[in-house]
Structure 1
Amino acid sequence: MKYMATYDLMESVRNTNEWMGATARAMASYPAFALTMNPMLSLMAAWGEVTERSFSRMVVKPDWGIRSIPGPEGQDHLVDVKTVVEKPFGNLIQFFVRRRAPMARKILIVAPMSGHYATLVRSTVTSLLPDADVFVTDWHNARDIPISAGKFDVEDYTLYLVDFMRSLGPDTNVIAICQPAPLTLAATAYLAAEDPDAQPRTLTLIGGPIDPDAAATEVTDFGRRITMGQLEQIAIQRVGFKYKGVGRLVYPGLLQLQSFMSMNAERHSKAFAEQIMRAARGEASDHDAHNRFYDEYLAVMDMAAEFYLSTVERIFKNREIARNEFTVAGKKVDLGAITQVAVKTVEGEKDDISAPGQCVAALKLCTGLPDSKKAWHLEPEAGHYGIFAGKSWRLNIRPLVLDFIDANAGTPKPARLKAVTNG
């Protein structure tokens, strides 16, 4: 079958490296070997520890790890992850805060489906939880979805967002991060035309490629150079026999990770070499800075082939969103139909993935929206990750987004957490 052997070969290589790391760590850790006083044994054990952890993380979905948040009354509030809407390719989940009354702000975070799990926005969720009821799109790994579940492309993705927004109601404030920004904009326009009463109150687009041609990056240059036939040949494989989605055409997470790592190969090599030396000296820990970052960065998921290919072709090559020619289920989605939802764009000055100009293009496309309901922000010195999860988000962008929501959502600004007896 098409590329199934290649998929299984990549998984075999990963599995072998994990096994070699575990073996090296176990062998070099025998108490008897300590009598030799050979420093190479410590290095061997450290190499094995770092290698085993790195390769094992590649096939494990990280945990959200949000156990509780502090309350103003001096008590911690436990947080439960609850499924609100369950679908084959992704769920809508809520971070339910126990003993807290419903908040005035209700926020839906549309997480990226671009190689990493939705847990990539963990710090974004954590920062918003004290001030809002937070919901997140939790996308599934395509390798775990049986072929019987059918296809999943950009139109299906858009309709998923439409269903999620409908289920939450019109008092929702949507924040779309990176890849889903154009499709979230399209979903909002779809609701504006088909079901106006279900529109969200506000829409914040952070670092998304609304118009990829507005500012060139390595990502857009690659999309321009390669043909769809070439892309399918080099990127698409069939899930192997190890997973439930056996036979499904996907863009494998391991192949995506190879691309991610190659973009900054020298920096990653240095980081792993330094971690091995720290482990050899006994200075590494389970949750040190290196492990916190790479436990998330190395955890990759397969994307459905039709979603990846249709994203490249329709969003980047044909620029259907940028030209306001996007269709869903045979219906043209007119971005000019957005007349009530306040829209804000956020960009990072040093974003090398969605460069400044790509996201703010959304405001020009919303021709039916008055200027009073449009806002934009360019964060100085900020890179891509920083505008939704880094220092720039924590110190500057998050307060600006919350102020934008309060100014346009028509609800009073939330004050303090209030304890209630609901569990």
Structure 2
Amino acid sequence: MLYNWLEAQRELIGSVQAWTDYAGQLCGLPEQRRDRAVALSGCDWLGRLLQAAPAPPPFAIGSVLIGARRVAIDESVAERTPFCALRRFTRRGEAAGPAILLCAPLAGHHAVMLRETVETLLKHADVYVTDWANARDVPAAEGPFALDDYVLTLMRFLRFLADMPLHVLAVCQAAVPTIAAAALIAARGEPPPLSLTLMGGPIDTRLAPTAVDRLAATHSIGWFRETVIDTVPRGYRGAGRRIYPGYLQHAAIVTAYPHRQLALESNYWTSRLSGDAARIVASLRALNEYEAVLDMTEDYFLDTLRVIFQEQRLARGTWDVAGRRVDCAALATTALCTVEGDRDDITGAGQTHAAHAACGALPESARMRLTIDDCDHYDLFTGPRWRETIHPALAAFWRKHAADRHSS
């Protein structure tokens, strides 16, 4: 198995790093200079390439600037399942108001890649984040995890947060199970969220298919099962679990977005050469957030291919979750916003805006469609377009519909 071979290579590079440190000590190099020498020789890059994906860095958001005030942030886990932790970020001393549930994608990256998104949202509200577990760390005894289980987990969290006014924001792959969870909640007559915002999500992949969509559509489920599924080796809590490995997902991401990887690497190397300690820490953190990937269960990965990319069951109105049909028309009182980037080559043009066609019961006054100029997939939730264009528009949308719900 490739997973086992990679584990052997990671152990080897780890021993090389240890000998490098030891050689530096014998030569009398201070620790900082040894580290810099390793960086300049390229061993640092090689180590990160071959060593196991690091444990994701913590969110570690100690405070945020709200206006001219620095406000402390408290982080905790509000609810948990074997496959997901619902992280809560509260603004100490701030008045309670509508909270935001940020539904992170389960598509390779850890949720901490959305750290900048969370920091921005905290300027206006307390934030809850779905932090999905690495499948290799979930014991096989906890059972399987499929796309239906993802939706049911989100329903559980929506019920947990039902006592507070709530805006829901789903990013990328999370858009499909999130709208399904909200629709199933509403269809049962349970309290729906105030609003639902979908950013760069593949609601209908028949529209403007990208290379990702075409790959998924032109290969059978059997081909994917035989080609990309591996088994978690011994040494991990999830040993024996069948998974789509994070190392393959990372390779796919780097192939699709080489410019982003190069930009992060370049910023990291420049900071190392500059000797600016704060800049080194920030650039390495950004690189580690991007490179920290996770394994997905076989059932979930193959279900996602079948339901979303091959059969478009949500868009066609043919999706059943745990025996119940998903009917987005049930979302009659939840305001809907969809956001797309005009240079997004992962989610094609119109795929996210297609959610409006599925939610036929909503009045036009409860809808907003944003298409952002000069914006790729990652720009939707990080960087200047997120901070300066998208977030202000969403904040205004949320304020309007929270006020509308309060007055009705």
The two structures have a TM-score, normalised by structure 1, of 0.87
Q: Distance in 2 between matches of 1:7 and 1:295?
A: 21
The corresponding residue for 1:160 is: 153
Q: Is the 8 A contact 1:46 1:276 kept in 2?
A: no
Q: Is the 8 A contact 1:117 1:299 kept in 2?
A: yes
Q: Is the 8 A contact 1:18 1:51 kept in 2?
A: no
| 1:291 and 2:287 matched | no
Q: Distance in 2 between matches of 1:269 and 1:176?
A: 27
Among 15, 18, 29, the alignment partner of 1:19 is 15
The corresponding residue for 2:2 is: 6
Q: Is the 8 A contact 1:111 1:118 kept in 2?
A: yes
The corresponding residue for 1:107 is: 100
Q: Is the 8 A contact 2:6 2:50 kept in 1?
A: no
Q: Distance in 2 between matches of 1:406 and 1:52?
A: 47
- Tell me how far 1:276 sits from its aligned partner: 5.9
Among 66, 91, 102, the alignment partner of 2:85 is 91
Q: Could you say if the C-alpha distance between residues 285 and 17 of structure 1 is closer, same or farther in structure 2, counting changes exceeding 3 Å?
A: farther
Q: Is the 8 A contact 1:60 1:299 kept in 2?
A: yes
Gap runs ≥5 in structure 2: 31-35
The corresponding residue for 2:76 is: 82
Q: Distance in 1 between matches of 2:110 and 2:199?
A: 17
| SS at structure 2 position matched to 1:212 | coil
Q: Could you say if the C-alpha distance between residues 227 and 258 of structure 1 is closer, same or farther in structure 2, counting changes exceeding 3 Å?
A: same
Which amino acid in structure 2 is aligned with residue 128 of structure 1? L
| 1:343 and 2:339 matched | no
Q: Distance in 1 between matches of 2:263 and 2:118?
A: 30
Q: Distance in 1 between matches of 2:269 and 2:111?
A: 29
**CA RMSD, Structure 1 to Structure 2 (Å):** 2.6
Which amino acid in structure 1 is aligned with residue 13 of structure 2? N
Q: Distance in 1 between matches of 2:76 and 2:404?
A: 25
Q: Which runs of 4+ in 1 moved over 6 A?
A: none
| SS at structure 2 position matched to 1:254 | helix
Q: Could you say if the C-alpha distance between residues 270 and 90 of structure 1 is closer, same or farther in structure 2, counting changes exceeding 3 Å?
A: closer
The corresponding residue for 1:361 is: 354
Which amino acid in structure 1 is aligned with residue 75 of structure 2? V
The corresponding residue for 1:51 is: 46
| 1:406 and 2:383 matched | no
- Tell me how far 1:328 sits from its aligned partner: 0.8
Q: Distance in 2 between matches of 1:358 and 1:377?
A: 13
- Tell me how far 1:206 sits from its aligned partner: 0.5
Gap runs ≥5 in structure 1: 35-40, 414-423
The corresponding residue for 2:59 is: 64
| SS at structure 2 position matched to 1:179 | helix
| 1:120 and 2:105 matched | no
Q: Is the 8 A contact 2:17 2:47 kept in 1?
A: yes
Q: Could you say if the C-alpha distance between residues 352 and 243 of structure 1 is closer, same or farther in structure 2, counting changes exceeding 3 Å?
A: same
The corresponding residue for 2:326 is: 333
Q: Could you say if the C-alpha distance between residues 284 and 241 of structure 1 is closer, same or farther in structure 2, counting changes exceeding 3 Å?
A: farther
| Cα deviation code 1:233-258 (max 9, x no counterpart) | 11111111111001011111112112
Which amino acid in structure 1 is aligned with residue 201 of structure 2? G
Q: Distance in 2 between matches of 1:57 and 1:238?
A: 16
| Cα deviation code 1:276-301 (max 9, x no counterpart) | 6875x564757436423321121111
Which sits farther off after the overlay, 180-189 or 78-87? Answer: 78-87
Among 291, 298, 301, the alignment partner of 1:305 is 298
Q: Distance in 2 between matches of 1:141 and 1:33?
A: 38
| Cα deviation code 1:307-335 (max 9, x no counterpart) | 11100011110110111111111111111
| SS at structure 2 position matched to 1:205 | strand
| Cα deviation code 1:212-250 (max 9, x no counterpart) | 111111110110121111101111111111110010111
Q: Is the 8 A contact 1:347 1:359 kept in 2?
A: yes
Q: Could you say if the C-alpha distance between residues 283 and 334 of structure 1 is closer, same or farther in structure 2, counting changes exceeding 3 Å?
A: same
| 1:384 and 2:377 matched | yes
Q: Is the 8 A contact 2:243 2:297 kept in 1?
A: yes
- Tell me how far 1:266 sits from its aligned partner: 7.9
Q: Distance in 1 between matches of 2:252 and 2:88?
A: 32
The corresponding residue for 1:205 is: 198
Which amino acid in structure 2 is aligned with residue 64 of structure 1? F
Q: Is the 8 A contact 1:157 1:183 kept in 2?
A: yes
- Tell me how far 1:408 sits from its aligned partner: 1.0
| SS at structure 2 position matched to 1:358 | coil
| Cα deviation code 1:74-127 (max 9, x no counterpart) | 4x332221111111100211102222332x221100011111111111101100
Give the total of aligned pairs: 399
Q: Is the 8 A contact 1:120 1:296 kept in 2?
A: yes
| SS at structure 2 position matched to 1:214 | coil
